[in-house]
Structure 1
Amino acid sequence: MTQEPRTPAPGPEPDPVAPSNRHRQGPVERVLDAEHRSTTDQHLLDTRGITEFVHTDPWRVLRIQSEFVEGFGTLAETGPAISVFGSARLRPGHPMYAAAEEVGRRLVQAGYAVITGGGPGIMEAANKGAAGAGGTSIGLGIELPFESRLNDYVTLGINFRYFFARKTMFVKYSQGFVVMPGGFGTFDELFEALTLVQTEKVTNFPVVLFGTSYWQGLVDWLRDQALAEGCINPVDVEMLQLSDDVDEVLDIMVNNRTPFLPSRRPVEG
C-alpha cells in the first residue's frame, strides 16, 4: 500500500518584533519597516530628498548645542567681566547714553571686560566706552526682526538664535550687572539674574540699577506690593542697589559689594 507523502505542519508565523526584525540606529532601537530600513550614514550622505528635517526638534537640539559650545569656547578666557543692560532705543544725545559710555570706559580701566547684548542704544554706548578704552568689548547678539547686526563697537561678538543660550552666557561670564533704563528685554535680563540669586542657582553678585528716578518706582512696588503680600522676602528687595553715580557703581563692582543675603533654605528641626 502506497503511503501518501506527509505535508509538513506549518511552522509558527514570523514574529514581527523578533530580534531579527529589530534594528539599532545610534541609541534608538526600532522594529524595521519600509520607512526605516536605510542607515543613518545613508541619510547623511544622500543629498536627495526634502529638507524639512532642518526644522525638526532633533535638529534644533543640535543648533542649541552648537550655540552653547560656541559661546563657552569663545568666552572661556575672557577674564573678569561685567554685563551692562539697557534699552536699544536710547540713542546718542540721551543722558543715559553718555552715562553708559562712561560706565563702559571706567569698567575697562578697572580691569574688566564689558558684556552687552550687542545692539544699539545703551548697549552700543557701553561697548563704545569699552572699545575706546582699549578693552574687550563683547556683544552677545540675538536674532530679532528689528536688530540685524552687532553694533560697530563690539570687538568680540556672538550672534544667538535662542534667548536661553544667550542668557546663560551673560550669567556664566559676568561678575556683576549694571542695569540702565530699559524695556521688556532689560526687565527680562534683570529678573533672570535676580531669580538665579534668589534660588541660589548662582553665587551672589552685585546688581546695580542705574538711574534712581527710572527705577525707584519698581523698587517701591516690590516693597509695597510684592513684599507686603508675602510673595517675596525682605532680602529679595535688598539685592537691588540704586545709584546715579558712576564712581559708586565702580566701587560696588570692584569690591563686589553685595548685600548680605542669608540662605533661603528652610531651617531644619
Structure 2
Amino acid sequence: MQPTSEPSAPRRDHDREIDSLEEFDRSAVSGGLAGRRIRSVDLTDRTFALLGTDTADAVFLGCAMEADAAAKVRAGGALVFPPIPGLPFDPYRGSLYGPDELFDGLADAGYEATPDARAFHWYQETRANGDVFASMLRSIHDDAVSDALDEHLAGARVVGIMGGHALERGSAAYAGAARLGRSLARTGLTVATGGGPGAMEAANLGAYAAPFEDTMLDSALELLAKASHFTPSVTDWARAAFDVRRSRPGGGTSVGIPTWFYGHEPPNAFATHIAKYFVNAVREDGLLARSHAGVVFLPGAAGTVQEIFDNATANYYRSPDEPAPMVLVNRAHWTERLPTWPLLRSLAAGRPMADRIALVDSVTDVPEALARLTATS
C-alpha cells in the first residue's frame, strides 16, 4: 500500500516579490529593483535609495513614497500603483490576515469598530452602487490573498473541514468538531476551514488546542459556552474567543478562509492565518482545491451540500490518481435528513473517486477513514 501523490500548487515567482522594508533594503543594495514587485511597503524614508537604484520594469503596489521619488521611478520604467486613501483594507497586501488584525479595536469599541466590520460595510456600499473602481480593488485584493495563501500552504498537507455556521458553542456536536480538529492537527495535517463560526470555529479551535494538554480544550469549551452564538452580539462572541487565546497563548496554527459576502458571519479568532475574500466563489473553490489531503464534511445545510458537490465535481473529472478523499460525517444526517450520500455514491460508481469517498457515523471515525482513503493498492 502506497500513499497517493498530491497535486502541487501552481508555482509562483515569489523571489521577485518584496513585502517588507528589510527585503527592500537588501534588494536595493545587492541587485537593484529592476523587475521586482514591491507591495505595501512604506518608502517615504527611502527616497535616496529610490533615486539611485535601477527600477526598470519594477511594479510598486501601494507603496507610500515622496513625490520626487515616485516621479523618478516612473521615469525609470516602473509602474506605480499608489496607496488608496480611506479604505478599511489594503488591496495590495502581501500576507494573510491574522485575528488580531481583523478584530483590532474589539476590546475597546466593540465589533462594529473593527477592520473586519468596516470592510464589510464598505463592500455592501460599493456593491450596491456598482462602482467599477471598487470592483477592481476587490479583485486585486482577492488575488493578493490567493497569492499569500499559496505561499503560506506551500508543502503543507491540508485537510479541509466543512460544516454549518449554526452549530452552537456548548453543544456536543461543537465539542466533537473541536476534538476532530485537534486530532487531525496532531497528526501533522494543516487544518483549513471556511473560517467562520459554528463547526468551522470548532475545528480551528481544536487545531489551536493541539499543542496543549487535553484539559485545555475542555476548559476552552466551557468558557466559550457562555457566549454560545454570534447573535445577538458578535462582540461578546468574539471577546470570549480572545479570552481563551489570552489564557493560553501560542496555540497551534490553522487556516480560515471566510468571506465578506456573508457579512452576517464574522471570522473566528482561532484560525491563526486567515484568507478573507470578497468573492465567495473564489473562496469556496480555493478552499476545496487546496485540501489535497482530504475534505471532511460535518453536518450542515445548503452551504455544506453545495461544497460537497463542488468537491465531487472536481473529483469526478480528475485523473485516476488525483481525486481527494471525501469523508461525510453523521450517517443519519447525510442519508435521511439531507440524503446527499446516495447521490454522491451514484456519481462515484465506476470512477476512480469511488475509492476516495466514505460515510462515517462519528468524528472519531474520521482519522481512520482518511488514512484508508489516502492509500491505494
Show the 5 A alignment for 1:224-263.
227=346, 232=347, 234-235=349-350, 238=354, 240-257=357-374
Pairing 1:222–2:343 present: yes
Q: CA deviation at 1:145?
A: 2.4
CA contact (8 A) 2:316 2:348 kept: no
Pairing 1:160–2:271 present: no
Structure (1/2) with the larger helix percentage = 2
Whole-angstrom CA distance in 1 between matches of 2:173 and 2:276:
25
Q: Bigger CA drift: 238-247 or 203-212? A: 238-247
Judging changes above 3 Å, is the alpha-carbon distance between structure 1 residues 158 and 63 closer, same or farther for their aligned structure 2 residues? closer
Pairing 1:97–2:174 present: yes
Q: 2:328 aligns with which of 187, 209, 219?
A: 209
Show the 5 A alignment for 1:131-146.
131-134=208-211, 135-143=252-260, 144-146=262-264
Q: CA deviation at 1:93?
A: 2.7
Q: CA deviation at 1:72?
A: 1.8
Structure with max Cα Rg: 1
CA contact (8 A) 1:131 1:154 kept: yes
Show the 5 A alignment for 1:101-180.
101-134=178-211, 135-143=252-260, 144-148=262-266, 150-174=267-291, 175-180=293-298
CA contact (8 A) 1:85 1:116 kept: yes
- TM-score, reference length from structure 1: 0.66
Pairing 1:76–2:154 present: yes
Q: CA deviation at 1:139?
A: 0.7
Q: CA deviation at 1:234?
A: 2.4
CA contact (8 A) 2:357 2:373 kept: no
Whole-angstrom CA distance in 2 between matches of 1:108 and 1:221:
30
Q: 2:316 aligns with which of 198, 214, 217?
A: 198
Q: Bigger CA drift: 214-223 or 162-171? A: 214-223
Judging changes above 3 Å, is the alpha-carbon distance between structure 1 residues 60 and 102 closer, same or farther for their aligned structure 2 residues? closer
Whole-angstrom CA distance in 1 between matches of 2:189 and 2:349:
31
Number of residue pairs matched by the alignment = 207
Whole-angstrom CA distance in 2 between matches of 1:43 and 1:84:
40
Q: CA deviation at 1:155?
A: 1.2
Q: 2:133 aligns with which of 47, 54, 64?
A: 54
Q: CA deviation at 1:96?
A: 1.7
Q: CA deviation at 1:247?
A: 4.0
* Letter matched to residue 159 of structure 1: K
RMSD: 3.2
Judging changes above 3 Å, is the alpha-carbon distance between structure 1 residues 44 and 209 closer, same or farther for their aligned structure 2 residues? closer
Q: Which residue of 2 aligns with 1:12?
A: none
Q: Which residue of 2 aligns with 1:185?
A: 303
Q: Bigger CA drift: 169-178 or 86-95? A: 169-178
Judging changes above 3 Å, is the alpha-carbon distance between structure 1 residues 145 and 204 closer, same or farther for their aligned structure 2 residues? same
| Percentage of matched positions with identical amino acids | 27
Whole-angstrom CA distance in 1 between matches of 2:142 and 2:255:
20
Q: Deviations over 1:141-168 (max 9, x none)?
A: 11122113x2121111111111232223
Whole-angstrom CA distance in 1 between matches of 2:341 and 2:164:
21
CA contact (8 A) 2:166 2:197 kept: yes
Structure 1 gap ranges (5+): 1-40, 261-269
CA contact (8 A) 2:145 2:275 kept: no
Q: Deviations over 1:249-269 (max 9, x none)?
A: 101223444799xxxxxxxxx
* Letter matched to residue 115 of structure 1: A
Determine helix, strand or coil for the equivalent of 1:141.
Answer: coil
Determine helix, strand or coil for the equivalent of 1:118.
Answer: coil
CA contact (8 A) 2:288 2:295 kept: no
* Letter matched to residue 186 of structure 2: Q
* Letter matched to residue 54 of structure 1: F
Structure (1/2) with the larger strand percentage = 1
Whole-angstrom CA distance in 1 between matches of 2:283 and 2:359:
26
Q: Which residue of 2 aligns with 1:27?
A: none
CA contact (8 A) 1:204 1:258 kept: no
Q: CA deviation at 1:43?
A: 11
Q: CA deviation at 1:127?
A: 0.7
